[in-house]
Amino acid sequence: MKPGNTSSISRVLYVEDDPDIRAIAEIALQDVGGFEAAVCESGVAALAAAPGFDPELILLDVMMPGMDGPATLKALRELDGMADVPVIFMTARLQNSEIREYRELGALGVIPKPFDPMTLSDQISRILQDSRG
């Protein structure tokens, strides 16, 4: 992990259906942020990858075909060891009522899309620090 990253998180499960956003986020997480990232294109893929990867943080797109972010989160929470893994949603849907809904589902916070790849890891660290109070 790079020295600038103050969180204790090293393994991030990232779920995003858009291949371009997925590629940018993978670079942002691994090359800029120094995280080990498992990148999934769907909720179903995330459910398959999560147990073997043992993520310390889940970044979750809200709007995905089939199983959306909230449904994926609910399903991940059912898996062994996933009940307490911190989750941050990434979305362009940022109405106060939507953000409140994401938090009620258990998300620590929301990172707006489009995101800046150079500051993504800083945003993650800030949300994690804020959640620890």
CATH fold of 11-131, please?
Rossmann fold (3.40.50)
Alpha-carbon distances, residue 130 vs 27, 67, 109, 110 (angstroms): 25, 29, 9, 12
- Domain range summary for the chain, segments of one domain joined by +: 11-131
**In this predicted structure, what is the pLDDT of residue 128?**
94
**In this predicted structure, what is the pLDDT of residue 94?**
86
- 38 φ/ψ angles, rounded to the nearest 5 degrees: -105, 120
Res. 1 pLDDT band, cuts 50 70 90: very low
Asked if residue 56 lies in contact with residue 11, where contact means CB atoms within 8 angstroms, the answer is yes
What's the pTM value of the predicted model, to 2 decimals?
0.92
Q: For residues 2 and 96, give the distance between their C-alpha atoms in angstroms, rounded to a whole number.
A: 33
| Closest to 12 (Cα-Cα) out of 96, 112, 125 | 125
Which tokens sit at 79?
A: 């898996």
Q: What average pLDDT is seen over the chain?
A: 92
Per-residue model confidence as pLDDT tens digits over 35-82: 999 999 999 999 999 999 999 999 999 999 999 999 999 999 999 999
What is the crossing angle of helices 69-77 and 43-53, to 10°? 30
